[in-house]
Amino acid sequence: MRASELTVGVEEEFFLADVATRHAVLRAETVLEGTAPVPGGGRVEPELARAQVESVSAVCRDIGSLREELLRLRRSVAAAAESNGCRLVASGVVPLGDPGPPPVSDRPRYHRIAERFGPLLDQQSACACHVHVGVPDPEEAVQVVNHLRMWLPVLLVLSSNSPFWRGRDTGYASWRTPLFARWPTAGPPPYLSGRAEYEEIVECLRETGAILDGGMLFWYARPSRHVPTVEVRIADVMPTVDDTVLFAALVRALVATVLTDLRRGRAAPAAGDHLLRAACWRAARYGLRGDGVDVSGRVDERLIPASGQIKQLMEYVSPALEASGEDGAVRAGLRALRLRGTGADRQRAAYRRRNRFEDVVDLLADQALT
């Protein structure tokens, strides 16, 4: 299957930083009130914490349209932020300042979450990127997620963009990952026999109080509850539009390749829950510059360089990319990423120049519009 046969959409979460102090500020409501309508069908919404905003792209059929859409959305929100004395910052967590515990955004559902989960919401300015790929059949969507499980660690490696938190280096490439893992359902999805088991799990978790509804199933990949897609949720929000578009192109190619495998009767690769969790932790800890866990079973060594994981990914998805004419652009994007590093690498490079976290925030705000 060609990747271009599938629709794609992206949700991006951002935090707001004061233009003078670069600390996170609780101005989402006023920024959203001042955001001009975005042509193209995308929209901007509040997030759980008042230091955050979220953009939701329109459904796109090609990567070029997706890029234009994301750029329009980011620029629209950034302009409103500037008018309110703050800047739009694309980082998985807050590099500088402390957004503190709630108040949460004034929506009934958010207040119910705050009442149910209490201090889990503290420091909850964690900003992700969610990629939706169109898979209309509910049963097929569950099987696609089964196949995606083994690729989640390398997707996290490529998107890692949260090394600094509240004025310190955490030592992680993605601190958002362990920070968000406090939630009862956060983590890799389990292997599921089918849609019926998926619905049983949702209902069981709801009855136990671990979730309010299916929207709180915070697996790193899942069948979407509100649109006919498979949703990959493992990524940090990424610094630039080009970073996000590269990531979305890879995710769409993965789903296209998985659908081809499914329709040929190929079973999902075995990946034990314990090993997959370890692989995701290691991806969050070391990112692009370290060794990752091979969960494919195709090599003798348990640990392999991140470059080896990326090579495996590209070998798998290249036919789908080539069929869509996107292979060259994706390979060029990956070469550029290896040279300049992920967002985590770029954040650390910005800090090292003068040992100032303000420089990190400035870099992220500048790159958010490119």
How many separate domains does the chain show? 1
Alpha-carbon distance 242 to 231, whole Å? 20
- So what's the pLDDT on residue 98? 79
Average pLDDT of the segment spanning 256-269:
94
Residue 166 has pLDDT above 60, yes or no: yes
Contacts of residue 36, defined as CB under 8 A and 6 or more positions apart, other chains included, come to 76, 79, 80
pTM, 2 dp: 0.96
Residue 193 has pLDDT above 80, yes or no: yes
Structure-model confidence comparison of residues 212 and 122, the more confident one: 212
Least confident of 19-28, 42-51, 75-84, 281-290: 42-51
Contacts of residue 8, defined as CB under 8 A and 6 or more positions apart, other chains included, come to 59, 60, 61, 63, 66, 131, 132, 133, 134, 248, 251, 252
- pLDDT tens digit sequence for 85-131: 999 999 999 999 877 665 556 678 878 888 898 888 776 779 999 99
- So what's the pLDDT on residue 300? 59
Least confident of 125-129, 231-235, 260-264: 125-129
Specify whether the CB–CB gap between 295 and 278 falls below 8 A: no
Residue 196 has pLDDT above 80, yes or no: yes
Specify whether the CB–CB gap between 263 and 121 falls below 8 A: no
- pLDDT tens digit sequence for 312-342: 999 999 999 999 999 999 999 999 999 999 9
- pLDDT tens digit sequence for 66-89: 999 999 999 999 999 999 999 999
pLDDT bucket at 295, cuts 50 / 70 / 90: confident
Average pLDDT of the segment spanning 207-223:
94
Residue 301 has pLDDT above 80, yes or no: no
Residue 211 sits at φ, ψ, to 5 deg, of -140, 155
183-284-317 Cα angle (round to 5): 105
pLDDT, mean over the chain: 93
Instruction: Indicate which CATH number applies to the domain containing 355.
Output: 3.30.590.20
- So what's the pLDDT on residue 207? 96
Which domain does 298 fall in, by range?
A: 3-367
